[in-house]
Amino acid sequence: MAPINTLHILNKAPEHPRSLACMSVLQSGDALLLTENAVLALAVNSIDPGVPVFALAPDLAARGLESGIQGASLVDYAGMVDLTTHAQKLINW
Amino acid sequence: MSTLMVIDQPPYGTWAGREALDMAFSLAAFDQSVTLLFTGSGVNWLRMSQQPGGVEQKSLEKNLSAAPVFGVEAIYADAAACARYGLTVENMIAGVAIASSSELLPKYTHTAFAG
């Protein structure tokens, strides 16, 4: 797992202004983790923010989305915690 | 007196939508004319095969299937929001009519939004 500069953890739906704010500050070397409502972004279109994208599998399953997901690698709760250990900085949006 | 309950809140992420659904069911149970409109990220309530066990919540899909039993007049989904979220008749629960919010809103004497 490559080291991550800043891990952005986003749980807001795509329409939420904080989702837009998050997307606008992503830089190379960062990573984006989508949880709760934010996983809906993967239903809108396969987002390509130019950084690795992860998504929390139980949240995708809850919303009937976990089949046919592109543009994000799925993690479970343990995987989420592991991700945070690889990041120097965290932003919980 | 006809009521339109609009749910634009995403499923499972907040409780606002569930509260609005309970309100709609209560109105319908008291023989008020209630119609549901899902729009914005709220249309995601209507996607089939929801498995919320992993987030320890009850399925909204099952919750919604009680709407006809309570006497909810109709369930609508906003066409633009469905297109945005890739929802079509094939991957949506049954009994939902796709319509345009702007056409629906003027038709009801009382409209309320979730949350």
Q: What pLDDT score does B81 carry?
A: 96
Q: Across the interface, which of B10, B47, B55 has its CB nearest the CB of A64?
A: B47
Q: What pLDDT score does A39 carry?
A: 95
Q: What ipTM was estimated for this complex?
A: 0.81
Query: Which has more confidence, B115 or B25?
Result: B25
List, as ranges, residues 2-41 from B with C-beta within 8 Å of A: 10-14, 40-41
Q: In which band, very low, low, confident or very high, does the pLDDT at B114 lie, cut at 50, 70 and 90?
A: confident
Q: What is the pLDDT of residues A47-90, one digit of tens each?
A: 788 999 999 999 999 999 988 788 899 999 999 999 999 999 99
Distance (Å, rounded) from C-alpha B77 to C-alpha B81?
8
Residues on chain B touching A63 (C-beta within 8 angstroms): 11-12, 44, 47, 50
Q: Is the pLDDT of residue A45 over 80?
A: no
Mean pLDDT of chain B: 93
What CATH architecture does domain A4-92 belong to?
3-Layer(aba) Sandwich (3.40)
For residues B35-45, average pLDDT:
96
Q: What pLDDT score does A1 carry?
A: 73
Q: Which amino acid is at A40?
A: L
Q: What domain range includes position B79?
A: 2-113
pTM of the predicted structure, to 2 decimals: 0.88
Q: Is the pLDDT of residue B16 over 90?
A: no
According to DSSP, residue B92 is labeled: B
Q: Which CATH number covers residue B57? A: 3.40.1260.10
CB of A61 less than 8 A from some CB of B: yes
Q: In which band, very low, low, confident or very high, does the pLDDT at B21 lie, cut at 50, 70 and 90?
A: very high
Question: What total number of domains does chain B contain?
Answer: 1
The H or E element containing residue B61 is helix B60-65
Q: Is A32 helix (H, G, I), strand (E, B) or coil?
A: strand
| Proportion of chain A above pLDDT 90, given as a percent | 83
Residues on chain B touching A14 (C-beta within 8 angstroms): 41
| Length in residues, chain B | 115
CB of A26 less than 8 A from some CB of B: no
What are the boundaries of each domain within chain A?
A: 4-92
Q: In which band, very low, low, confident or very high, does the pLDDT at A46 lie, cut at 50, 70 and 90?
A: low
Residues on chain A touching B43 (C-beta within 8 angstroms): none
Q: What pLDDT score does A48 carry?
A: 80
CB of A62 less than 8 A from some CB of B: yes
Exposure string (b/e) for B29-52, b if CB count within 10 Å is 16 or more?
A: eeeebbbbbbbbbbbbbbbeebbb
Top residue of B7, B15, B39, B44 to mutate, by most chain A CBs within 10 Å, is B44
User: Which are the contacts of A63, defined by CB distance < 8 A and separation ≥ 6?
Assistant: A39, A40, A43, B11, B12, B44, B47, B50
Strand pairing category for A53-56 and A31-34: parallel
CA–CA distance from B45 to each of A88, B22, B25 (Å)? Answer: 36, 14, 16
Q: Is B14 helix (H, G, I), strand (E, B) or coil?
A: coil
Q: Is B93 helix (H, G, I), strand (E, B) or coil?
A: coil
For residues A25-37, average pLDDT:
95
Q: 3-state SS of chain A: helix, strand, coil percent to 5? A: 35, 25, 40
